[in-house]
Amino acid sequence: MDWRTQWKALLFLLTGFLVSFYLPVGSLRFDHAVLEAFHLVRWYAREHVLLCLVPALFIAGAIGVFVSQAAVMRYLGPRANKVLAYGVASISGSVLAVCSCTVLPLFAGIYRMGAGLGPAAAFLYSGPAINILAIILSARILGIEIGVARAVGAILFSVVIGLAMHFIFRKEEQAKAEAAAYLPEPEVRRPLGHNALYFASMVAVLVFANWGRPEQASGLWHAVYGVKWMLTSLAAAALAVMLVAWFGLSWRRALLAAVPVIGLALIFPRQPMIPFAGAVFMLSAVTSTAGGEMEEWFATSWTFAKQILPLLLMGVFVAGILLGRPGEEGLIPSQWVTRAVGGNSLGANLFASIAGAFMYFATLTEVPIVQGLIGSGMGKGPALALLLAGPALSLPSILVIRSVMGMRKTVVFIALVVVMATISGLVFGALF
């Protein structure tokens, strides 16, 4: 027996056995935490997946397919106007970094071959932070103020961080890359107005389907709530018309999709989830088999779904076990959370920023985790600080950034992210 080749198997079995032997089943806190995890998973599945995540996935897929990345890259390439480059870098994350692994080559490219360190740093920060799915889910689950603050904070501070990096390292000459940047020619696409209305109709579906019940039974908010499904249907109908008129979907397919949905709506007038689910199903069915751009759109959304939904499920489960639903206890006692990150002190915000910077969050998992933390007593300021520092950085990504920028610049970058996140948290916590 050669133990040198067997030690891993031994370790695995031993660990598994010890964990199972000492499993705290039967202890109140543990049992409750496990149940909380299941409660939370079910709540997400019922409340958020169909009405919120699925439309958001279609929107994200549409961005990937219909917004011309080549056109955006012109603003970040070697001949770009430097001032404009900052603005573009800070908001184009969603458009350019459609696949999360493209952030790093893009960053490296912009830094060495394109507009330079400043816009590259701005892009590096904002890319993961302005993930459209994350913003939508944050707004939905953590509240619209946090969703908006997250988006605004990410854009604003990416510019600040980019400028700061440029200023701090202005005396260093960039080693020019040997090759000229290869920028693909922007393909001729449909008019901007068509694209804009197409996105607007999908956003309208998302917004109206998720319109919340207000507390007062009067006023504009309530009036809209009363007719939300009518508005959702109108937006969906507009989308269908646009797909046929401008995006090449055959009217036969559109009709094939629309008829069952209308039927379901008439049969189940009091259960809007049913026709909504039917609409999602039919849209998927007719686009995934249509060929051309429609199929590309669906395929991109589907790829996102495959990448994101399993991780989100795991993230929700972990958040449930560790922190429980809002108002409930998980494995981590609420007092610990309140003491570390409750209120809006400098210490709380700083702790949240630093923890966020080094912790790894798979896409979207920061939302259920922050939700759990808020439910266990985390202040809103520190929550925003964590959301601004978390997705942008993690220990693995820091190591790769270091290989492109070098240790000094990486350390400064991290410090800037932590400082910006802390300040944003303090301000937000004070205002809300």
Q: Which residues 6+ apart lie within 8 Å of 94 measured at CB? A: 60, 63, 130, 131, 132
Q: Compute the least distance from the CB of residue 130 to another protein, in Å.
A: 17
Tell me the per-residue interface mask from 369 to 408 with another protein, x by CB under 8 A, - otherwise: -------------------------------x--xx----
Q: Which residue among 34, 67, 177, 311 contacts another protein (CB under 8 A)? A: 177
Which of 22/182 has CB closer to another protein? 182
The region of 35-43, 178-186, 331-339, 357-365 touching another protein under the rule CB under 8 A is 178-186
Residues within window 87-126 making contact with another protein, judged by CB under 8 A: 96, 99-102, 104-106, 108-110, 112-114
CB of 1 to another protein, least distance (A): 37
- Least separation in angstroms between residue 220's CB and another protein is 44
For another protein, give the closer residue by CB, 95 or 374. Answer: 95
Total residues binding another protein (CB under 8 A): 31
Give how far the C-alpha of residue 191 lies from the chain's centroid of Cα atoms, to the nearest Å. Answer: 28
Question: How open is the CA angle 341-344-347, to the nearest 5 degrees?
Answer: 60
For residues 110 and 257, which CB has a smaller minimum distance to another protein in the complex?
Answer: 110
DSSP string, 230-258: HHHHHHHHHHHHHHHHHS---HHHHHHHH
Q: How far is the CB of 389 from another protein (least distance, A)?
A: 24
Of 167, 182, 217, 218, the one binding another protein (CB under 8 A) is: 182
> Would you say 97 or 417 has its CB closer to another protein?
97
Q: Considering beta carbons, is residue 284 or 303 the nearer one to another protein? A: 303
Largest CA distance in the chain: 78
The CB-of-96 to another protein minimum distance in angstroms stands at: 7
d(CA 313, CA 368): 10
By beta-carbon proximity to another protein, the closer residue of 14 and 180 is 180
Contact assessment for residue 291 and residue 317, using Cβ atoms and an 8 Å cutoff:
no
* Identity of residue 261: V
Q: Which of residues 268-327 bind another protein (CB under 8 A)?
A: 303, 307
Find the shortest distance in angstroms from Cβ 73 to another protein.
7
Q: Residue 150 in 3-state DSSP?
A: helix
Q: Taking the alpha carbons of 377, 383, 386, 390 in that order, is the dihedral positive or negative? A: positive
Q: Residue-wise over 212-224: b if at least 16 C-beta within 10 A, else e?
A: eeeeeeeeeeeee
- First-last CA distance in the chain: 65
Query: Which residue's CB is nearer to another protein, number 48 or number 112?
Result: 112
Least CB distance from residue 230 to another protein, whole Å? 40
Only one residue has tokens 């008829």, namely 259
Element (H, E) at 376: none
Distance CA 393, CA 209 (A): 33
Long-range interactions of 326-330: CB distance < 8 A, separation 24+: 326/371, 326/372, 326/374, 326/375, 327/375, 328/32, 328/36, 328/39, 328/375, 329/29, 329/32, 329/33, 329/36, 329/376, 330/32, 330/33, 330/36, 330/37, 330/372, 330/376
Phi–psi pair at 307, nearest 5 degrees: -75, -40
The piece of 172-180, 225-233, 327-335, 366-374 that touches another protein (CB under 8 A) is: 172-180
Stretch that binds another protein, among 10-18, 182-190, 284-292, 344-352 (CB under 8 A): 182-190
Q: Supply the minimum distance, in Å, between the C-beta of residue 416 and another protein.
A: 22
Which range, of 44-52, 66-74, 86-94, 340-348, touches another protein by CB under 8 A? 66-74
Residues in touch with another protein (CB under 8 A): 69-70, 73, 77, 96, 99-102, 104-106, 108-110, 112-114, 177-184, 303, 307, 400, 403-404
